[in-house]
A and B are shown apart, each in its own frame.
Chain A
C-alpha cells in the first residue's frame, strides 16, 4: 500500500528563509539561524519529503541556493525537491548534484513547455514536480498565476493543465495563493481543477495551520501528499505530534525506526554513528 506523505516546504530568498502570506514574504532567518534555532535534521526525521523553493523576487543566485541546499541535504535522509526560477538544464543539474532528487518548475510550465519536456527527457518524468500557483479571484473563478504569483493566466486552469506536454511532469504541487500562509486550511477545491486523464501524484499546499488541516487534506483520495511551509506551527515537536495525531485518523503514513534505535543496533555490529 502506497503511503501518504507529509511534506515540509522551505522558502528561500537570497540567503534567508521566509514565511509567506498570500505570497507576501517575511524574513525569518538565515540558514545558520535555522540550524541554530531549529535542529533541522530533527525536523527532517518527521517528514516524508522536503521541498526547497527559491522564491527570490529579484535576481536569483543559483550558486548560493545550491550551497544552502547542500547544507540542508547533509542531515536529511528524506527526498528533496528543489526549484524556483529554473530555466536551463544546467541549473537543474546543479540542484540535482546539490542534494535534490527532483526539480520543481513553475512559470516554465506555461512560458516554456519545451524546456519542461527536455527536463523530463534528461532526468525522467518522475524528476519533474509541476508547481502550480492558483488564485480564486473575486469573480470566484480560479486562475493560474506565474512569476511568483504576479502574472495571471487567462485560460481556465483545467485547460492549461490539459495543454501541458505529455509525460513532462511527474507530480503536481497545487498551491492556493488565497490560503497561503493564512493557517486557515487547504482549499480542496483546487483538486476539482485537475483533468481526469492527468492521473499524477498530487501534493496539496497552501493554508495548513495545524495537524487537522493536514488530516483534512490527506483524507481526500485525490491527495497523495500535503505540504506546509508554516515554519512556526510545525517546528520543535510540531511535526512529530502532527504525525502521531494523523496516524490515529486512519491515514496510512510510512514508519521507520528512531535514530537512537538505529544507533544502538549499528553499534552492536561495530558501526558507530
Chain B
C-alpha cells in the first residue's frame, strides 16, 4: 500500500515541486516536501526532481548536506529513489554541463550534451513527447506496452552503454537513457509528472515497487 509509505520530495530550491506533489496527491500518496537531511534519511522513498544547471544543483546539495543524507538513505539504508530530469542526471557519475562536475554516483554512467553531429539539424533542447522503448519485466514499466510516449525537456542526457539494470531507451539522433531501474535506484530523463496518464502510471509503479 502506497498510503503507509513515507515519501519525501527533496527540495533544494530547483525543482518544479508543485507538479510532482500534485501527481503524488492524485495517486493518493502521502508525501512531504523537505530540505531537511534528517527527514530524508528517514524516508521510505525519495523523489529527486530538478530543473536547471547540474553544477549549481550539485553544489546546492553539498552545501546543504543533502548529498550525504541521500547517499545514506540510498546506499546504506537501501531506500528507493526516483530521480526526475535533472534529478535523474544527478544520480549519474558526472556531467560535462558547465565543466566537469561529479554526481551522486548511483548510476555508473556519465551525462553529456547531445552532439551536433548526432543531431543532424534536429533542434536542441529536445522538447516534447517522444517515443520510448521500454524494457521487459521492470517495476517502473509494469502495465505498459513495449513503447510509450513521455514528455522530455533537456539538452543533456545519460549514456546508456554498458550499464547493468533495466534500461528504457529513447532516440533523438542517437540512443540515450530515457529511464533506468536497478535495485533501489530509479530515474527518468522525461517528466512523469508531465506525461499525462503514462507518467501517472509510472509514478504509481515506482511507489508500489
Q: A residues within 8 Å of B by Cβ?
A: 1-5, 45, 48, 70, 73-80, 93, 96-102, 121-127, 170-171, 199-201, 224-225, 254-259, 261-262, 265-266, 269-273
Contact = CB atoms under 8 A, between A and B. Distances in A.
B196 A78 contact: yes
A72 to B, nearest CB: 10
Contacts of A225: 128
Contacts of B121: 199
Contact of A79 (B13, B125, B143, B191): B191
Interface of B: 1-2, 13-14, 16-19, 22-23, 26-28, 51-53, 56, 86, 121-131, 143, 148-149, 151, 153-155, 172, 191, 193-201, 204, 207-208
Contact of A271 (B19, B153, B191, B204): B204
Residue in A5, A78, A125, A199 with the greatest tally of chain B CB atoms within 10 Å: A78
Contacts of B148: 255-256
Contacts of A261: 197
B27 A273 contact: yes
A101 B149 contact: no
Contacts of A224: 123, 127-128
Residue in A74, A224, A256, A261 with the greatest tally of chain B CB atoms within 10 Å: A256
A3 B53 contact: no
Contacts of B149: 3, 254-256
Contact of A73 (B22, B86, B123): B22
Given A77-B193, A201-B123, A224-B127, A124 B53 contact: yes
Contacts of A2: 122, 126, 128-130, 172
